[in-house]
């Protein structure tokens, strides 16, 4: 009886994690309730969103409580990230909307706690498989929405037939298909059924990425694919690495110089202009308006809550954020917050590089590729320190899981575990 109960417990736990992933991705529900993608003001909240929030976090808490000691230990082992979260919480003191900032900061802490749970509860390879399950489900439903429910699956009003699948906007579909493609590419499987699922998932993620017409996703995907062989060079000894690295950097420098010198032609090829779809004027406006609060910022989520209409009147459209995660972080938490994020990112990058050099698998590159994806996407989108946001959960989970993986590699010799295929859920030790 006990093995059956344990299997049921683990199956429900993984179902909760997959459901939480879908919630953080804003899949399905958002496009069904807001197919026109109407922009709401910064302080808008809806009853359905609150119900989803309590259901997801309530279910997750049931499985987080048995791991509370390990989660608290992970908080202690990642002090820079904890300082950044603490800064967001105490920023309500100087925020122009203190109660709003406090409420959003608390939700951010809960969101981050889920990332800590994910990083402590599941090893990196199991995180990949859970993510593959979630994205595979999104892929299947996206195809159904596009073919059978085009009112929801295809953006016919704003982007003239671009696919958006189960997501509220084409760029969101593009970003998560990039995550899906890299995850399916990196996940390791041995069985024939597992290989079939892997490559079918990879093929459909590329198909949906193409139909989304998300130029940013195309660029990020191309960069990540180019980074895969570059990261493999890190396994060479330092003499060979110096030679190959110098040659690679020289070629990269020449390529960048050529692109910069022919920027207009490349932007035209991508269907963009020199303003990056009005993003550059928006960035300049936000930086100008927030310049009076440069060191401490306006408080977490405080900038847009206080200056939303002023920015709208200056840029003549209604953005919900700056479309640049680093600028939004600077506006909210100032140079202090941006500096803490940069320091934590440097620490995580160092951990990821160590994992790549220690192991000889494509799976070991996945944390570094996902970290690169988060940083690249935040050049033209805002996903840093956003409550209930998947990319922020992923960032926190990578921070925690890479630290844990390196600690285990230094203290113990890991035992070989049976592979968990994409179609089969494996059993794990019962949490104490």
pLDDT band at 374 (very low <50, low <70, confident <90, very high): very high
Contact 122, 130 (CB under 8 A): yes
Q: What is the pLDDT of residue 272?
A: 65
Chain segment 416-432, per-residue pLDDT in tens: 444 455 654 444 443 43
**Look-up: residue for tokens 């847009």?**
304
Q: What is the pLDDT of residue 331?
A: 96
Cα dihedral 240, 243, 249, 252 in deg (nearest 10): -90
Give the model confidence (pLDDT) of 209-249 as tens digits. Answer: 999 999 889 999 999 998 888 887 776 555 555 666 676 66
Mean pLDDT of 100-128: 95
The per-residue pLDDT for range 134-166, each reduced to its tens digit, is 999 999 999 999 999 998 999 877 778 899 999
Q: How far apart are CA 17 and CA 131, in angstroms?
A: 9
pLDDT at 173: 95
Strongest mean pLDDT among 76-80, 193-197, 236-240, 245-249: 76-80
> At 250, is the pLDDT very low, low, confident or very high (cuts 50, 70, 90)?
confident
* Unique residue bearing structure tokens 């993608």: 37
- The arithmetic mean of pLDDT across residues 240-266, rounded, is 66
How far is residue 373 from each of residues 33, 217, 227, 393, measured CA to CA in Å?
29, 10, 11, 13
**Average per-residue pLDDT for the chain:** 86
Domain assignments of the chain as residue spans, ordered by start: 2-37+53-235+276-411
Percentage of the chain with pLDDT > 90? 61
Q: What is the pLDDT of residues 302-356, one digit of tens each?
A: 999 999 999 999 998 889 899 999 999 999 999 999 999 999 999 999 999 888 8
pLDDT of res. 249? 66
């Amino acid at each position: 009886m006990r093995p059956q109960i344990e299997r049921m417990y683990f199956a429900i736990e993984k179902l909760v994690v997959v459901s939480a992933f879908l919630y953080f991705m804003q899949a399905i529900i958002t496009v069904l309730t807001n197919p026109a993608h109407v922009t709401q003001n910064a302080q808008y909240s809806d009853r359905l969103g609150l119900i989803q929030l309590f259901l997801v976090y309530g279910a997750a808490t049931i499985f987080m409580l048995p791991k509370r000691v390990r989660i608290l230990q992970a908080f202690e082992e990642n002090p820079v990230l904890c300082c950044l979260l603490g800064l967001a919480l105490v920023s309500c003191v100087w925020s122009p909307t203190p109660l709003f900032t406090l409420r959003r900061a608390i939700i951010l802490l809960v969101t981050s706690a889920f990332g800590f749970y994910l990083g402590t509860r599941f090893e990196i390879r199991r995180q990949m498989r859970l993510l593959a399950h979630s994205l595979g489900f999104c892929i299947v439903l996206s195809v159904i929405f596009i073919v059978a429910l085009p009112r929801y699956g295809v953006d016919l009003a704003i982007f003239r037939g671009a696919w958006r699948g189960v997501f509220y906007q084409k760029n969101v579909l593009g970003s998560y298909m990039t995550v899906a493609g890299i995850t399916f590419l990196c996940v390791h499987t041995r069985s024939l059924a597992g290989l079939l699922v892997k490559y079918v998932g990879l093929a459909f993620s590329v198909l949906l990425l193409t139909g989304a017409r998300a130029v940013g996703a195309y660029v990020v995907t191309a960069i990540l694919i180019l980074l895969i062989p570059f990261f493999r060079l890190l396994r060479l000894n330092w003499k060979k690495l110096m030679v190959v690295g110098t040659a690679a950097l020289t070629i990269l420098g020449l390529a960048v110089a050529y692109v910069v010198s022919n920027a207009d032609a490349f932007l035209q090829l991508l269907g963009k202009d020199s303003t990056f779809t009005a993003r550059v004027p928006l960035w300049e406006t936000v930086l100008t308006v927030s310049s009076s609060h440069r060191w401490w910022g306006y408080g977490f989520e405080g900038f847009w809550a206080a200056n939303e209409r002023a920015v709208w009147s200056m840029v003549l459209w209604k953005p919900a954020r700056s479309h640049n995660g680093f600028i939004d972080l600077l506006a909210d938490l100032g140079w202090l917050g941006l500096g803490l994020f940069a320091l934590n990112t440097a620490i995580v990058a160092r951990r990821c590089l160590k994992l790549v050099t220690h192991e000889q698998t494509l799976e070991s590159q996945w944390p570094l590729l996902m970290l690169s994806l988060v940083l690249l996407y935040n050049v033209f989108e805002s996903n840093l320190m956003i409550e209930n946001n998947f990319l922020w959960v992923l960032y926190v989970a990578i921070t925690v899981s890479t630290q844990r993986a390196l600690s285990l590699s230094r203290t113990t010799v890991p035992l070989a575990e049976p592979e968990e295929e994409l179609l089969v859920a494996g059993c794990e030790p019962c949490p104490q």
